[in-house]
Amino acid sequence: MTNLILLQLFLLVISTSFFTTFLITKIWIKVAKKSKLVGRDLNKYSKPEIPEAGGIAFVIGTTFAILIYIFIKTFYLLSTSNLVEILAILSTLLLAGFLGFVDDVLGWKKGLTQWQKPLLTIPIAIPLMVINAGNSSMSIPFFGQVDFGILYPLLIIPLGIVGAANGFNMLAGLNGLEASMGVVILATLGTFAWLTNSLWVATITFSSVFSLIAFLIFNKYPSKVFPGNTLTYATGALIACIAILGNMEKIAVFLFIPYFIEFLIKAKNRFKTECFGIPQKNGSLKAPERVGSLTHVLLKFVKSEKSVVISFLVIEFLLALLTFAFFNPL
């Protein structure tokens, strides 16, 4: 395939992802309102009702774009290279999105303990486990190159995917936070994939990036739709899939530093705290006396929801820049 054909295919896929997600999000906002699938925005003093589970648009938009990519590769370019891996990513995305959507609709988060939720996300990892995805040999600090063999698909892959899906879900609840953080992380991984000539990985990754950008148009402050667990589970699982299949596990772990910190803070509080601040009449947010989230730490320095989200993005962007210094792809 020539570079021009690859570029045309890339542009078609990301355009399909963007516009499909944009249109479905607009439709979903109306459907969710009509169906009373709404939640209170707890970071606003008036606590307005906002349509929930908008991440369904991200899942459908990304899925449709990937299917277009598969169709053109198979019938026009007559290529089935990496088809198994692409279908495994698609299966994981759909499983994660389905689990998150059911969680959003039925309100499982009110009826399940914190240890039960990760168990229910284990099936998300099965597609990549059964195809023995990724490279079982990894460079470990102080140990050098270690080949995990059969333990890689049976232990490392499920730990990575389940951990990423649940970890990404922990740092959430502010307008635009989940989608914008997903954009930075996935765009970084996609750029690494492109620079290392994993063009199919880059194409799949950037299709999800542009889907998130389209969703962010409606989800940014002040949000017209919430992403729900539909988006957080799907995005977290997708990040893990891209990292595994693109051999970028160390980069993904580095980019997930804010989520590891969030995990430690919430573990200290026995996972009984949320990311929300205390809304004030003037529109600002106040940090709770007890720090139960990285969000509360930032609220000690900035006083608005929008500023907290921007602060997180600055931190994540700096981490993304550091990855190019520490893990030079060239």
Tell me whether the omega of the peptide bond preceding residue 329 falls within 30 degrees of 0, making it cis: no
- Range(s) of the domain holding residue 149: 3-255
Asked if residue 180 belongs to a domain, the reply is yes
128 vs 125: CA distance, rounded Å: 6
pLDDT digits (tens, 9 = 90+) for 200-236: 999 999 999 999 999 999 999 999 999 999 999 999 9
Asked if residue 294 belongs to a domain, the reply is no
Give 116's pLDDT tier (boundaries 50, 70, 90). Answer: low
For residue 40, give both structure tokens: 């209170």
Of 200, 203, 199, the residue nearest 211 (C-alpha) = 203
How many percent of the chain have pLDDT more than 70?
96
Of 243, 217, 250, 221, the residue nearest 165 (C-alpha) = 243
Asked if residue 135 belongs to a domain, the reply is yes
If you average pLDDT over residues 68-83, what whole number do you get? 93
If you average pLDDT over residues 190-195, what whole number do you get? 96
Asked if residue 80 belongs to a domain, the reply is yes
If you average pLDDT over residues 34-43, what whole number do you get? 94
pLDDT of residue 109: 52
65 vs 10: CA distance, rounded Å: 10
Asked if residue 289 belongs to a domain, the reply is no
Angle, vertex CA 48, rays to CA 61 and CA 56, nearest 5: 15
Of 65, 68, 88, the residue nearest 76 (C-alpha) = 68
182 Cβ contact partners less than 8 Å away, ≥ 6 residues apart: 168, 208, 209, 212, 231, 235, 239
Cα-trace Rg, the chain: 19
Mean pLDDT of the chain: 92
134 vs 242: CA distance, rounded Å: 10
Asked if residue 125 belongs to a domain, the reply is yes
pLDDT of residue 137: 81
Asked if residue 160 belongs to a domain, the reply is yes
CA distances from 100 to 64, 163, 175 (A): 19, 15, 18
The model's pTM: 0.95
Asked if residue 270 belongs to a domain, the reply is no
113 vs 85: CA distance, rounded Å: 33
CA distances from 258 to 121, 159, 167, 197, 309 (A): 21, 18, 10, 29, 13
User: What is the total count of domains within the chain?
Assistant: 1
pLDDT of residue 147: 80
CA atoms lying within 13 Å on the CB side of residue 116: 7
Please say if the pLDDT value at position 198 is more than 90: yes
Give 108's pLDDT tier (boundaries 50, 70, 90). Answer: low
